[in-house]
Structure 1
Amino acid sequence: MPSLTLPPEYPPRADLRADISKPLPFIAHPFSSSSSITPAEATSYASALLAAFNDATHAGDAKKLADCFYEGQAYWRDILALTAHWRTFERPGVIAAAWVEMVALRGVRGDVEEMTGNGNGGARFVRASDTLQFIECDISFTTIQPAATCGGKLVLLPVKTTGKETLEWKIWVLRTWIESLGVQAEDEKLLKAPGLELDDLKTIETDVVVVGGGSAGITISARLKALGVESVVIDKNRQAGDNWRSRYDCLKLHVPTSNCEMPYLGYSKELHTPHLLTREELADHLVKYVAEFNLNLLNSAAIQTTTYDTVTKRWTVEIHTPSGRKTIVAKQLIQATGIGAQKPYLPSIADADKYRGISVHSVDYRNAEELAKRGAKATIVVGSANTAFDIMSDCHRAGLQTTIVARSPTYLFPVQYIFRALALFDQIPLEQADRAMATFPTAVEGELIRALFARLAEAEPDRYTALAKTGFPLIDSRHPDANLQHYLAERAGGHYISFDADVALLAEGKVGVKANVEPAAYTSTGLRFSDGTTVEGDAVVWCTGFADRDVRGVCGDILGGGNGGDGDNGSNGHGNGDSGTAPTKLGPRDIAARVDATWAVDAEGEIRGMYKRHLRMENYWVVGGPLAHQRWGSRALAQQIKLALEGLLLPAYRDTPKVVG
């Protein structure tokens, strides 16, 4: 496939730390450590605020509505409910203007009501810290266009007004989402319906084709089926779960199982906290999941070509399978091939031909025993994030002399912090935990986590002292740059969720450290670095990540444009062969030139291009990211596709009201 020149990124990329993150509100009149607010009092305050909010909404009075919000810092994050998109609005005047405009367009039936019962305990007082206390309550409302029941949460801050004896409560964060579609409620009984007999079909017509059969593709297929939407998943691997099975043998997740659940079918009790899931357990669960819900999965499928007809609004995907060539015709296409999973990044360094040892990227690493069988006695692990530490430890256990190369400071925090931050998933039902944890604006979520981790790190300032003395460059959660959201949403790595035993290998000198240098060239027996020094090693494992967080650079090849055959059929920018007219059939190159940029954040802190409509490429969607993102994001994506198939998906609201002051 010839080199593809991509148009300017849409949406433009923002800098999360410089443009999005803001200090949490500092409440000038906090409650004392001994005082609190009873549930009845919290409910009373929330009810009073909602009454004023509803009065202003019904009157269409943006000025009075703005007065319901906390003046110093306010957010409204909407996931489809009113904007038909993923949006975050900031500042009271902007929020109020957008809310009034959306209510007029969509129609809200009756009041926004406080929810109680059905697992919602009413308003509650939360002491996040000595200087941040708030009331949180669950809300619900119904929309007319489209008909839907919507949920949400209000987070209220206390305000001391001059001349008034009592505190007022204002909205700091408003979060809203679609709870249930009027056209079709989520129905888990539909998951038991038989699947298609795919082997016997040469042409398959379906609602949705999902490209990629890993956890993201399988999850969205199940979500769609529960809404009565048929999908066919195609995957290059031999069976479900092989994307996990092909990873290195010692892989285990660094987060609690409860945060990694898939919807509808949980892991067994013995695989929950404090257990951490292994690659085999993840793979086996996918096999079980596909079989349990009779999902339509075509394995060992190689895409030959993909086209999109802009007139008929149909995707055509030609694939080759063990049972022969097949054609899939679908109304919607979802790319589920992973974010940062297709193009391993290998630094280009000199003299590779001189090296007599083994050089592999972590994607091709299996285990240290395999290296030892090939004659390796010393290993250089390049990288210092989660994968690098896993492989470093594996090599040490196998008796290999091991050196880890930390090219720049790594953000370290212990696995115990993650269990603390995600404890809610072990305490309440999964769906409730997702609503509580996955709906905060990025700016707020990131700062809440940063503040929690900073308090925990301040209580144990010497946790990494011995490691730092080895020269290993690190920052801990006390450092101002220690923003986990930055590492997850922008770098997709660069941090290490640490295990004490692995850290001890470095601190006790059992593993060597090479710090703050870049590999510059191979020698015949190892690597030479940017400072002129060398390290001996007859195996080098590159834990340097992937270069494809933005799908624009890979979707053309994935959809068949790089197979050297007929994979790039389509207009390539021309309509019916006539220059200057709009294309009617788009091939892989056309599609790659039209899709939104993915990953990193936009100016509102929203992850770009994921689980939402793309501006220039209709009926095309991208899923991926961490397992928790897949679980919550797939819910909203399935709702959008169901509405689109029913002709009920309204235009995405992409404007931001211009408000003076």
Structure 2
Amino acid sequence: MPDIDEQAAAWLTHFETALATHDDILLRRLFTPGATWRDLLAFTWNFRQFHDRDAIAAYLWATVQDIEPANFAIDKDFQVDPVSAVTSAPTGTYEINFTFDTAAGFADGLVNVLSDDESPAGLRATVLFTRLTGLRDRKPKWPQFGRYNHQELVNERRSQAHRKRYTDREPEVLIVGAGHNGVFVAAALGRLGIDALVIDKHEQPGDSWRKRYESLVLHQPHGMMQFLHLPFPVSFPDYISKDRLADWYEVYVKALDLNLWNSTSFLDGSYDPETERWTARIQLADGSERVMHPKFLVLATGGSGTPRVPALPGLGDFAGAVTHSEGFRSGADYTGKKVMVVGAGTSAHDIALDVAVHGGTPTMFQRGPICIVDLPTANINYGAFNTRDVPTDVLDKRWLATQVRPTMMENFKFVTALGNDLDRKLHEGLESAGFQIDWSPYGWFAKYFEVAGGYYINVGASEAVIRGDIKIRQHDEIDRFLPNGVQLTNGEILEFDAVVLATGYENQRVILERFFGKAVADSIGEVAGFDAGGEPERQQYKPIPAQPRLAIAGSGICAGRWYAPLVALEIQAELEHRVPAAFTAPGHPSRTPL
């Protein structure tokens, strides 16, 4: 029986030979016809994916001479066995983790293979993933080993305080927003020795979580939420409250020596292609303004930050309190009150449940069907992230390799069918209570990637709906608001003491236009969701062709952890002019399809 380690090494050797000799026949013998490839910067200086063998070959032959990949080898330093069986794939599938070099730097990868006698290595690839990990002649600044300078260590806090004031220089990179994306990118830049300043409108690190409603708890398990470069302590619970998470931001900023100015707002900015610098106007904590000229700007605000307030007929006539979910703090403020919650997404469910727990009477007005999944069922999507048995870096790499849209949608469809069967009784109870369920075949996880909403992971509110503790009405029943409540289209009047608008936030375009003007916002276009090439996180974390030296980082904690190191490498490559000019030209095959 062939030795799988020898076969893995042979596959890499043949792959390198095919690329070096431009041998199309050999290349095709190494891949199945339906193989997929996802590349993060290594071959494309972009985030791209290719959905069959023909597309893989076409791209490689168009660009391989510029990339110069070489020295493919099994990754002996991988945290687990670099060659191992894949239990979640068809029987006989093996995973090979490898490293390689390019003209610009160093990279790693993963390939899933199946036995195939037609291949010279006895293996054919079904999944290929490649990723840039560093640039040539640029070693990371940490970890630091073997240097002891007593006076430097004694004075480090004073030195850091001086450095963070920026009295004698401009930051190379200005990061707007100190949520997870902002601090992750700052940490990744710091590791590369790139001077970055983070500014944030809140008073303390973590306030973007700390100031949210008191009952907020993350619905994803511990493993999905790990922070870049600083994992949670083993004492952390599987599910993390917003206050514990907020406190961890403070620890993170201090431990990684990030340059952060709190109580500081970004006002506007413009880019000068001649000087290759931004003019950024910011407002400081004392109300004064300062103009900075960074070489690169990262927008990490996590969204527009602008509450979406729908036009509700007669809302101005309502005599009770009206608040957006952004301003909601605790159901204790609504004890004994009848509360109308407009919306039925995650925040609406959390708020309605909190009101009910504190003795209020909530009614959710549903604006459209919503995907509902019970927490244990949702966890099926996360696989080994539910445990603490496999290193996060290993799981992240495997996850990134399968972020190929056709594969994702196929997986979503399978897990959704399984989940609907597991949650059948829950769904039946909800429908009996008048709740409209979104029966999309791709389920809640597709909603997360497509629109970052439209679902609820049940942690108790669904049972409250079924019991009648949370009442359900439909938004299209509303005729108009009255001083004491709302009149429905059938003439019925429902009395309310307060209204909470759980209606979400405006999209990224709003903040792009506010900060940079309509022309720039129009040129960038839509942000988030899938791009035309199948990549998730459209226009985020990757180069933006319409606006040089701007990056948008606005997705969840796990995406921030995955992509922040790549954003830092993009910035380093751009500042040092390492990206070949052809790869930034319109129409180049590396560019994201329109």
Normalised to the residue count of structure 1, the TM-score between the two structures is 0.80
Amino acid of the structure 2 residue aligned with 1:179: T
SS of residue in 1 equivalent to 2:50: strand
- Matches of 1:493 and 1:305, distance apart in 2: 29
Q: Which residue of 2 aligns with 1:612?
A: 542
- Native 8 Å contact 2:225 2:558 kept in 1: yes
Are residues 1:86 and 2:47 paired?
yes
- Native 8 Å contact 1:526 1:538 kept in 2: yes
Equivalent residue for 1:101, pick from 62, 65, 79 = 62
Are residues 1:61 and 2:29 paired?
no
Q: Which residue of 1 aligns with 2:572?
A: 642
- Matches of 2:163 and 2:193, distance apart in 1: 19
Q: Which residue of 2 aligns with 1:505?
A: 464
- Matches of 1:590 and 1:70, distance apart in 2: 45
Amino acid of the structure 2 residue aligned with 1:283: A
Taking only aligned residues, the RMSD between alpha carbons, in angstroms, comes to 2.9
SS of residue in 2 equivalent to 1:435: helix
SS of residue in 2 equivalent to 1:554: helix
Q: Could you list the per-position Cα deviations for residues 476-521 of structure 1 after superposition, in whole angstroms to 9, with x for gaps in the alignment? A: xxx552334431122210011112x322111122221214736442
- Matches of 2:490 and 2:116, distance apart in 1: 56
Aligned CA distance change for structure 1 residues 47 and 237 (closer, same or farther; 3 Å): same
Amino acid of the structure 2 residue aligned with 1:265: L
Aligned CA distance change for structure 1 residues 221 and 490 (closer, same or farther; 3 Å): same
- Matches of 2:283 and 2:345, distance apart in 1: 38
Amino acid of the structure 1 residue aligned with 2:261: L
Q: Could you list the per-position Cα deviations for residues 446-482 of structure 1 after superposition, in whole angstroms to 9, with x for gaps in the alignment? A: 433442343354355434322222121224xxx5523
- Native 8 Å contact 1:392 1:402 kept in 2: yes
- Matches of 2:226 and 2:162, distance apart in 1: 28
- Matches of 1:122 and 1:431, distance apart in 2: 13
Aligned CA distance change for structure 1 residues 277 and 180 (closer, same or farther; 3 Å): same
| Mapping 1:541-560, distance limit 5 Å | 541-548=500-507, 551-557=508-514, 559=515
Amino acid of the structure 1 residue aligned with 2:54: G
Q: Could you list the per-position Cα deviations for residues 410-439 of structure 1 after superposition, in whole angstroms to 9, with x for gaps in the alignment? A: 111122134343242322222222111123
Amino acid of the structure 1 residue aligned with 2:175: V
Equivalent residue for 1:358, pick from 286, 311, 321 = 321
Q: What's the offset of the Cα at 1:99?
A: 1.6
- Matches of 1:405 and 1:208, distance apart in 2: 44
Amino acid of the structure 2 residue aligned with 1:297: L
Equivalent residue for 2:418, pick from 447, 455, 462 = 455
- Native 8 Å contact 1:402 1:512 kept in 2: yes
- Matches of 2:243 and 2:111, distance apart in 1: 41
- Matches of 1:467 and 1:608, distance apart in 2: 34
Equivalent residue for 2:132, pick from 178, 182, 192 = 178
Q: Which residue of 2 aligns with 1:135?
A: 94
Aligned CA distance change for structure 1 residues 593 and 411 (closer, same or farther; 3 Å): closer
Amino acid of the structure 2 residue aligned with 1:489: F
Q: Which residue of 2 aligns with 1:296?
A: 259
Which stretches in structure 1 are left out of the alignment for 5+ residues? Answer: 1-37, 560-586
SS of residue in 1 equivalent to 2:295: strand
Are residues 1:601 and 2:530 paired?
yes
Aligned CA distance change for structure 1 residues 98 and 531 (closer, same or farther; 3 Å): farther
Q: Which residue of 2 aligns with 1:562?
A: none
- Matches of 2:524 and 2:124, distance apart in 1: 39
Q: Which residue of 1 aligns with 2:210?
A: 245
Q: What's the offset of the Cα at 1:60?
A: 0.3
- Native 8 Å contact 1:207 1:332 kept in 2: yes
Q: Could you list the per-position Cα deviations for residues 363-416 of structure 1 after superposition, in whole angstroms to 9, with x for gaps in the alignment? A: 1111122234xxx61112222221111111100011011112223221111221
Q: What's the offset of the Cα at 1:219?
A: 1.3
- Matches of 1:56 and 1:297, distance apart in 2: 48
Aligned CA distance change for structure 1 residues 352 and 171 (closer, same or farther; 3 Å): same
- Matches of 2:565 and 2:78, distance apart in 1: 20
- Matches of 2:273 and 2:134, distance apart in 1: 31
Normalised to the residue count of structure 2, the TM-score between the two structures is 0.88
Name the stretch that deviates more: 175-184 or 592-601: 592-601
- Matches of 2:425 and 2:123, distance apart in 1: 40
Q: What's the offset of the Cα at 1:176?
A: 0.5
Amino acid of the structure 1 residue aligned with 2:551: W
- Matches of 1:206 and 1:418, distance apart in 2: 42
SS of residue in 2 equivalent to 1:197: helix
SS of residue in 2 equivalent to 1:307: strand
Q: Which residue of 2 aligns with 1:417?
A: 377
SS of residue in 1 equivalent to 2:414: helix
Q: What's the offset of the Cα at 1:623?
A: 0.6
SS of residue in 2 equivalent to 1:464: helix
Name the stretch that deviates more: 171-180 or 633-642: 171-180
- Matches of 1:473 and 1:158, distance apart in 2: 47
- Native 8 Å contact 2:263 2:285 kept in 1: yes
Q: Name the count of aligned residue pairs.
A: 572
Amino acid of the structure 2 residue aligned with 1:346: V
Aligned CA distance change for structure 1 residues 504 and 589 (closer, same or farther; 3 Å): closer
Aligned CA distance change for structure 1 residues 530 and 175 (closer, same or farther; 3 Å): farther
Amino acid of the structure 2 residue aligned with 1:650: P
Aligned CA distance change for structure 1 residues 132 and 609 (closer, same or farther; 3 Å): farther
- Matches of 1:466 and 1:386, distance apart in 2: 18
- Native 8 Å contact 2:62 2:589 kept in 1: no
- Native 8 Å contact 2:486 2:496 kept in 1: yes
Q: Could you list the per-position Cα deviations for residues 221-269 of structure 1 after superposition, in whole angstroms to 9, with x for gaps in the alignment? A: 1110001001111111112111112211111111012211211222222
Are residues 1:315 and 2:269 paired?
no
Q: Which residue of 2 aligns with 1:334?
A: 298
| Mapping 1:21-170, distance limit 5 Å | 41-71=3-33, 73-110=34-71, 112-128=72-88, 134-144=93-103, 146=104, 148-157=105-114, 169-170=123-124
- Native 8 Å contact 1:252 1:279 kept in 2: yes
Aligned CA distance change for structure 1 residues 483 and 204 (closer, same or farther; 3 Å): farther
Which stretches in structure 2 are left out of the alignment for 5+ residues? Answer: 146-152
Q: Which residue of 2 aligns with 1:567?
A: none
Aligned CA distance change for structure 1 residues 290 and 61 (closer, same or farther; 3 Å): same
SS of residue in 2 equivalent to 1:474: coil
Name the stretch that deviates more: 42-51 or 441-450: 42-51
- Native 8 Å contact 2:128 2:401 kept in 1: no
Name the stretch that deviates more: 284-293 or 178-187: 178-187
Aligned CA distance change for structure 1 residues 200 and 603 (closer, same or farther; 3 Å): closer
Q: 1 or 2, which has the higher helix percentage?
A: 2
Q: Which residue of 1 aligns with 2:407?
A: 444
Identity %: 24
Aligned CA distance change for structure 1 residues 516 and 137 (closer, same or farther; 3 Å): farther
Q: Which residue of 2 aligns with 1:206?
A: 171
- Matches of 1:45 and 1:199, distance apart in 2: 52
Q: What's the offset of the Cα at 1:179?
A: 2.4
Tell me: higher relative CO, structure 1 or 2? Use CA pairs within 8 A at least 6 residues apart: 1
